[in-house]
A and B are shown apart, each in its own frame.
Chain A
Amino acid sequence: QQQVKQSPQSLIVQKGGISIINCAYENTAFDYFPWYQQFPGKGPALLIAIRPDVSEKKEGRFTISFNKSAKQFSLHIMDSQPGDSATYFCAASGRGNYQLIWGAGTKLIIKP
């Protein structure tokens, strides 16, 4: 019940296309859902996060869509660029728990 399942494991998208990465969770106590971006040899960096009181959050080309009833959330990258090529992690945490529960990661490659 503590797991966050992330898919796909890897994704190749043409430049200018839309990249979509999905995550699913079971624990209904989760109330914070961040996405992290990691470039090779670097630590992950917080990209965007959402709480369950909204169904969508947009920051520039990055959008989180959240479906509370389905217990799913996804990251959409619009107009994907080669510079977006990285590994993306979703995560979740809930009240009374300091720890983030991480998805397994998605390696995204944007082809020029």
Chain B
Amino acid sequence: SQTIHQWPATLVQPVGSPLSLECTVEGTSNPNLYWYRQAAGRGLQLLFYSVGIGQISSEVPQNLSASRPQDRQFILSSKKLLLSDSGFYLCAWSVRQGSGYTFGSGTRLTVV
């Protein structure tokens, strides 16, 4: 069966520090991968998506970046965090167009 792992679950980082969030998927190959951010009590904002290794599409210009070094690995990074980067970060995967997403358990990031 397919599973998605996302870590860490919570993270408190100072302003200006770097960030690396990792997401891995097991049990499938060539998944579509997504990074979302959700502000408290708000909706889902798509940040990045990837349809293959090394292929990254950015939806929102900001100080975050994403990389897909392996087929089932998706990384969200920042060189210098801002207060506004605080939020709930969710990784998701889908197998093909017109299919549902499976979300990870999320990372609660607080920038202080």
Contact = CB atoms under 8 A, between A and B. Distances in A.
Nearest to B51: A98
A18 interface: no
Given A46-B100, A100-B101, A89 B44 contact: yes
Interface in B44-60: 44, 46, 49, 51
A99 B104 contact: no
The B interface, classified by DSSP as helix, strand, loop or mixed, is loop
> What DSSP secondary structure best describes chain A's contact surface?
loop
B65 interface: no
Interface stretch (B13-21, B77-85, B89-97): B89-97
A96 B97 contact: yes
Interface in A2-23: none
Interface residues of A, number: 24
Contact of A103 (B43, B90, B105): B43
A43 B90 CA distance: 7
B22 to A, nearest CB: 15
A65 interface: no
A99 B90 contact: no
A79 B108 CA distance: 33
Given A93-B97, A98-B51, A98-B97, A41 B46 contact: no
A34 B100 CA distance: 7
A31 interface: yes
A89 B38 CA distance: 13
B49 A98 contact: yes
B59 to A, nearest CB: 8
Interface of A: 31-32, 34, 41-46, 49, 89, 93-100, 102-105, 107
Interface of B: 32, 34, 41-44, 46, 49, 51, 90, 92, 94, 96-106, 108
